[in-house]
Structure 1
Amino acid sequence: MITAHVESFEQNLEYLKPLLPIHYKELALDQDKVPLSPQFDKYVAAEQRGELIFVTLRKVGQMVGYFIGFIAPGLHYSTCLTCNMDIFYVLPDHRGNGTGFQLFKFVEQQLKKRGVQRMFVGSKMHKDASWLFEKLNYTPVETYYSAWLGD
């Protein structure tokens, strides 16, 4: 059985680190130009300020998925406490059977407890998870584009 938990990012960083390269390999663009190099200190600092939510999915104690979001009043809407998703991931062997749905319903519950009023999430177009957000009744609001500007 897979269970969801709010946990400390800092205290679970060593368990998260082995999953990040798997996530990166499956989803990151421009891997030949942009290496995986997270600024873990920024995440820890945000967590210490109460501005980060880290939710894990665990199966028999093993981390099999996660959600990381940043919580703050909106830059354009200072009266609206907002969570902007940073990343989410579920290991391929643990997808299906509503695992992603379980993750996001749990995240929603936890954000409501913190007084968050709005949540923004995203899906990679080359590895589309829009079906999940549509199932959760989220409203599509924007499409992002990317262009490599380096050498």
Structure 2
Amino acid sequence: MITFAVEDWFDVRDHMAHLWPSHWAEVAMNRDTIRLEIDFDSYNQHAATGALHIVVARKSGEVIGYHVSLVRPHLHYKSSLSAFTDVYYIAPPHRTGRTPMRLFEFVERSLKARGVEKLFTGTKLSLDAGPLLQHLGWVPTEMLYTKYIGGLNGSSTNRKPT
């Protein structure tokens, strides 16, 4: 049975770490030029201020998924608390049945209990969670574009995302 719980970053980060490389390999763009390098100082700072909201999915005690968001007032609506999704992931063998839906439903309930009024998340076009989000009542509102401009000597490139 898969269970969901809000957990503390400092208690759970080491238990989540085994999933990060596979998550990165599955969805990250520009893997050939930008390596995975978790900014632990920033995560620690957000956790210390209470802004980091982590929901963990476990099976037999092992972390098999997570949803991480930052909770703060919106810069345009300072009296309204918002949650901005950082990352979400469920290990592929556990993406069966209602598990993804149950993760998001738990996230919504736990954020609402914190007083959050509005949720913001995205989905990768290469691993589209849009149908699930729309089934749960989320509304598509924007399309996010990215462009790698690193290259040699800061030159722009038009590489295909990887």
TM-score, length basis structure 2: 0.91
* 3-state SS of paired residue (2:76): coil
Residue of structure 2 equivalent to 1:49: 49
User: What is the distance in 1 between the residues matched to 2:106 and 2:77?
Assistant: 25
Q: Could you say what the CA RMSD is over the residues aligned between the two structures, in angstroms?
A: 0.7
Letter matched to residue 8 of structure 1: D
Amino acid at match of 1:55: V
User: Counterparts in 2 of 1:1-12, with a 5 A limit?
Assistant: 1-12=1-12
Question: What is the match of residue 106 of structure 1?
Answer: 106
Q: How many aligned positions are there?
A: 151
Counterpart of 1:96, as a letter, is T
How far apart are residue 41 of structure 1 and its match? 1.7
Counterpart CA distance in 1 for 2:110 and 2:13 is 20
Distance 2:109 2:14 in 1: 26
Per-residue CA shift, 1:10-35, capped at 9, x if unaligned? 11111111110010000100000010
Give identity over the alignment, percent. Answer: 36
Partner of 1:126: 126
Cα shift at 1:40: 1.3
Residue deviations 1:18-77 (CA, integer Å, cap 9, x gap): 110010000100000010001012112111111010110000101000000000000111
State the shift of 1:96 in Å.
1.8
Tell me which residue corresponds to 2:159.
none
Instruction: Name the residue aligned to 1:144.
Output: 144
* SS in structure 2 of the partner of residue 18 of structure 1: helix
Please list every run of 5 or more consecutive structure 1 residues that lacks an aligned counterpart in the other structure.
none
SS of the aligned residue for 2:126 comes to helix
Question: Relative to structure 2, which stretch is displaced further, 86-95 or 35-44?
Answer: 35-44
Question: After TM superposition, which residue ranges in structure 1, 4 or more long, deviate above 2 angstroms?
Answer: none
What is the CA–CA distance in structure 2 between the aligned matches of 1:42 and 1:10, rounded to whole Å?
A: 13
Distance 1:127 1:103 in 2: 16
Other-structure match for 1:77: 77
TM-score by length of 1: 0.98
Aligned to 2:97: 97
1:58-113 CA distances to partner (integer Å, 9 max, x unpaired)? 00101000000000000111111000000000000000211111011101111111
**Unaligned runs of at least 5 residues, structure 2:** 152-162
- Provide the residue aligned with 1:17 in structure 2: 17
Query: SS at the partner of 1:76?
Result: coil
| Counterpart residue identity of residue 62, structure 1 | E
